[in-house]
Amino acid sequence: MKRIVILVAFLSTAATAQTLVRDQFVPDGIGSFNIDYTVGQSFTVGLSGLMSAAEVLLASPTSLNPTDITFAIVPANADGSPPYYWSSAATVLQTRSLPDQSRRWERFTFTPFRVAAGEKYFIVIREDSGGLALRGYPYITAYPDLQDQYLPGEMWTMTSPSATWRPFIDRGADLSFATYVTPQTILSCIGFEAPFDGPLFLGPKSNKAIPIKLVLRDSAGLEVAAGDVSEPPVVQVSKGGQTGSEIPGYEADLLPSGLADDGNQFRYDEYSKTWILNLATKPYTASGTYTVTVVAGDDQYGIESCQQTFTR
């Protein structure tokens, strides 16, 4: 049976400009765990921002052939356990082949996705050809001097495709792990105001523009104005997983109707202290339900879930 030794250390680091700051960290392991098939290590996000990379220290000292592994980052279930169908639920899912006799830090980069402090995820690693051996701390809480702002997690195992997840050593083990995060200020969205405070229904030939009004607040509850963000927020329209001009039936040459804004960028109204956009619906000609989502204008900040729907 092929065996892979994983010295896992996910360095949850964050970058402002060119500065990387370590968030969650467990150093190289002092214990060895022999695990069949799949292992999942939970972690709690410490820095809000965009997660875009992870590094894993891997070794395959007994294998004479390349070893295939699957790496995933998966949101935890509400009860803190890993999802049974973890590959389907994965935010990040990658496979690669490791050279024989390899021992090195393996870097995984992926499309950035937004995380918030306090959210719980799992790092899942599957050795696709059989046995798996990992290094880590048997009881990380017993070594507080080795922790660096670490929020203790749990290691789980799945011994076969048909097996269920189970905690390893009665939830007492932790692998070394780390992720890379670009920290962001996360703003809350108060809105939408009427008439878009609930789903709207438009006639099949309606050219009505939808007035979108909202308030943004920072973590202290203070209102965010135009001078408080590097770029104004923008609106994103999606339907069936496709956005903007990718949506079937989208007609870019149709001009906005009436007071509709030509574009998707909000403007800040000093009088009402709200962000405003008159969304043109005329280009969206196909019947069905469209989701309107407010997102940050750049990667310097993020906006909590802020969306509504209209149906044509």
* Residue 84 φ/ψ, nearest 5 degrees: -65, -50
Q: What angle do CA 293, 298, 299 make, to 5 degrees?
A: 105
Unique residue bearing structure tokens 């209209």 = 310
pLDDT by 10s per residue, the chain, length 312? 444 444 444 443 333 343 557 667 666 665 556 556 888 989 899 888 888 988 877 655 555 566 788 999 999 999 999 999 999 999 999 998 877 655 677 789 999 888 888 899 999 988 876 555 566 665 555 555 555 556 678 888 888 888 899 887 654 567 777 888 888 788 889 878 888 999 989 888 788 888 899 999 987 788 999 988 888 999 989 887 777 666 776 655 444 444 455 568 999 999 999 999 988 888 888 888 999 999 988 877 888 888 999 998
Contact 193, 44 (CB under 8 A): no
Chain-centroid distance of CA 12 in Å reads 13
Residue spans per domain, the chain: 5-183, 185-311
Q: Are strands 210-217 and 242-243 parallel, antiparallel or unpaired?
A: unpaired
Q: Are strands 301-303 and 185-191 parallel, antiparallel or unpaired?
A: parallel
Cis amide prior to 266 (ω within 30 degrees): no
Q: Please give the C-alpha separations between residue 312 and each of 156, 236, 283, in angstroms, as whole numbers.
A: 46, 17, 12
Give the Cα separation of 46 and 14 in Å (integer): 10
Which pLDDT score, from 0 to 100, does residue 234 have?
A: 92
Chain-centroid distance of CA 130 in Å reads 29
Give the Cα separation of 310 and 312 in Å (integer): 7
Which pLDDT score, from 0 to 100, does residue 78 have?
A: 94
> Quick one: CATH architecture of 185-311?
Sandwich (2.60)
Burial degree of 310 (CB within 10 A; 0-12, 13-18, 19+): buried
